[in-house]
Amino acid sequence: VFGKPSVFNGRINIAHPDIDPASELKLSAMGLQPYYNTTEKMKRSSLNSHAIEKMMKNIVRQLDEPLPETLSPALLAEHHLMPLTEALMNIHFPVSPDVLRKAEYRLKFEELFYVQLNILRYAKDRQRKYRGYVFEKVGDTFNGFYSRNLPFELTNAQKRVLKEIRRDLGSGRQMNRLLQGDVGSGKTLVALMSMLMALDNGYQACMMAPTEILANQHYDTIRELLYGMDVRVELLTGSIKGKRREAILSGLLTGDVQILIGTHAVIEDTVNFASLGLVVIDEQHRFGVAQRARLWAKSTQPPHILVMTATPIPRTLAMTLYGDLDVSVIDELPPGRKPIATIHQFDSHRVSLYRSVRKQIEEGRQVYIVYPLIKESEKIDLKNLEEGFLHICEEFPDCKVCKVQMQLFVSGEAQIMVATTVIEVGVNVPNASVMIIENAERFGLSQLHQLRGRVGRGAEQSYCILVTGYKLAEDTRKRLEIMVRTNDGFEIAEADLKLRGPGDLEGTQQSGIAFDLKIADIARDGQLFQYVPAVAEAIVDKGPN
C-alpha cells in the first residue's frame, strides 16, 4: 500500500492509496519507488506518477544492449563516473540511495560539462577570429590623471582590476571583461582610467548606459573627474537634437570627440567613429549580445569591451551566464565609506521611525521611501504610491516631498522622494542617507540590496530601514535577517540563489547560449559548478577544434 499518510481526527489515514497485489512484487528487488511530477491535465488522462512508472519499467526492460556512451573512457575513469546506461536505469529505478546519488552525479556532470564546453568553444572561437587593438603604452593622459586628478588613493581591488584590464588591452586579443563590483565600489573610476588608456594609444572610447538619467550621471561624474584636463567628452542621448547633435557626430568622425557617453543611441547607424578602441557597457543585463555585436561593427576591428554590473552574480552562476567574458571583481569599498546600518522595523513603530527621519532631515540629509510594485495590478500599485505620498506629506508638512521626480531630488530641492523600485540602478545622490523600504517582505534579496545601495554614497552614516507587518513567512524572515547581518553583495547573491533558485536572478537566456538545466541545480550543486568548467577548459585548451 503506497500513499501519503495524514492525521485526521487523531488517527492516521491515507486518502487515496495505490494498492498493488503482493504476488506481483518481490520486496527484495523493489528498491526505491520513483515519483514523477504530473499536471492535473495528465492525471485526468490517467497519466499519474504510477502510470509513468509502469511505462518507464517497460522501456528499461526492453534495453537489450547499452546505449551509446556520450563521455570518453578517460573522463569516466578519471572522474569516477557511472556509465550512461547504468545511470539512466538507476535514476528511475535505483536499488539504494547511494546508487541514486551516483547516477545523479553522472548525469549532472555531463549536463554541466556540455554547457561549459559549448560556452568555451564559442569564446575561444571568437578569440581566434577577432584580433584586438594593441594598446602598447600607458601615456601622458593616464599618468596626468593619476598624479593630479585622482580623488582618492585607489583600493587594492581597483589596482588589481586595472592590472587585469591593462594586460588584456596589450595582449593583441579583443578584451571581453565583466567588471563586478558592489554599489559604490568605484567601478566608474576604473572604467574611466581604462578609457584614458585608449586615448593614450590614439583611440576613442565610448560608454553606454541603459537610461538617460544614468547616462547624464556618468557624463557629470566623468567631466568632474577630468576637471582641468584637455579631454573632449560629449553626451549623446535621444533628447539631444539639431545643431548640437550634428556637432557631436562630426566631432566623432574627425576624432575630436575622444570620449562619448550615451544611451543605446550610440549604436544607431548614424553614429560613426574615427577610431573606436574601447566600449564600456554599464549594467550588462539590459544589453543583449546582439547589441554588443552591433558595436563591433562600428570599426574595422572590434573594440575592446568592458561590461560593468552592480548586480553581484554568485561566482557559480557567473561562470555559466558569462562564460564568454573574463570576470574581474572589485571586492572592497573606497576609504571613508561607512557601512550602511540596516534595521528591520514593524510598521506599528512608525512614530519612532519618523522621529529619526526628522532628525536626519534637520541635519540636511535626504530620504528615499520606496513602495513595492505588484506587476499584476498597476491600479493597486498607483493607489499604494498615492496613499503613501499623501501620508508622508501629512507627516512632514514642512518638507518638500516629491513623487518619482528624480530631478527634484538630485538637485536637492526635495528632501523626501516617494517612489517605486525604478530608482534601483545607478542613481547617485551623496546627500541621501535614509532608505525606507515599505512592505520589505515583497522584495527579493538582490532587489533589497540594490535599493539599499542608493544610500551610503557620502561620508555620513546612512541607514536602510526595512518595514514589514508582524506576520512573516519563514523564508521572508531569513531574507530580512541576512540583510540586517551583512552588506556583502556576493554573500547576499549566494543566499538569494539558495532561497529562490536561478530562474529569477536575471534573464538567463544571455550570450546567445540557451540555459535550461534539466537535472543540475545551481543552488545545490555549487561544487560541481566550480569543478566542471576546469575539466572542460583543459579539453578545449588541449585541442580547440
Lowest mean pLDDT among 247-251, 253-257, 332-336: 332-336
pLDDT of residue 1: 80
Query: With bands split at pLDDT 50, 70 and 90, how would you rate the model's confidence at 44?
Result: very high
Residue from 278, 244, 274 nearest 134 by CA: 278
pLDDT for residue 411: 87
Q: Report in angstroms the alpha-carbon separations of 248 from 4, 196, 259, 291, 380.
A: 71, 19, 11, 22, 44
Q: Of 53-57, 406-410, 475-479, which gets the smallest average pLDDT?
A: 406-410
More confident site: 180 or 184: 180
- What is d(CA 161, CA 156) in angstroms, rounded to the nearest whole number? 9
17, pLDDT greater than 80: yes
Report the share of the chain in percent with pLDDT over 70: 88
The Cα–Cα gap between 469 and 187 comes to: 37
Mean pLDDT calculated for residue range 252-261:
96
How large is the average pLDDT for residues 78-94?
A: 95
- Highest mean pLDDT of the ranges 221-225, 295-299, 307-311: 221-225
Mean pLDDT of all residues in 213-228 = 91
Average pLDDT score over residue span 273-282: 92
Under the banding of pLDDT at 50, 70 and 90, the label for residue 499 is: confident
Q: What is the pLDDT of residues 109-162, one digit of tens each?
A: 999 999 888 888 877 777 777 788 999 999 999 999 999 999 888 999 999 999
Residue 544, pLDDT > 80, answer no
Q: What is d(CA 338, CA 456) in angstroms, rounded to the nearest whole number?
A: 7
DSSP collapsed to 3 states, 197-257 = HHHHCCCEEEEECCCHHHHHHHHHHHHHHCCCCCCCEEEECCCCCHHHHHHHHHHHHHCCC
Q: Whole-number mean pLDDT of the chain?
A: 85
User: Residue 97 pLDDT more than 70?
Assistant: yes
- In this predicted structure, the answer to whether residue 508 has a pLDDT above a threshold of 50 is no
State mean pLDDT over 472-497.
Answer: 87
pLDDT at residue 338 in the model: 82
Residue whose grid cell is 541514486: 100
Q: What does the DSSP assignment read for 361-396?
A: HHTT-EEEEE----TT-HHHHHHHHHHHHHHHHHH-
Q: Tell me what the mean pLDDT of segment 212-216 comes to.
A: 86
Contact of 186 with 155, CB cutoff 8 Å: yes
Of 482 and 509, the structure prediction assigns the larger pLDDT to 482
308-347 pLDDT tens trace: 987 777 766 666 666 667 888 888 877 777 889 999 999 8
pLDDT score for 485:
94
CA atoms within 13 A on the CB side of 174: 26
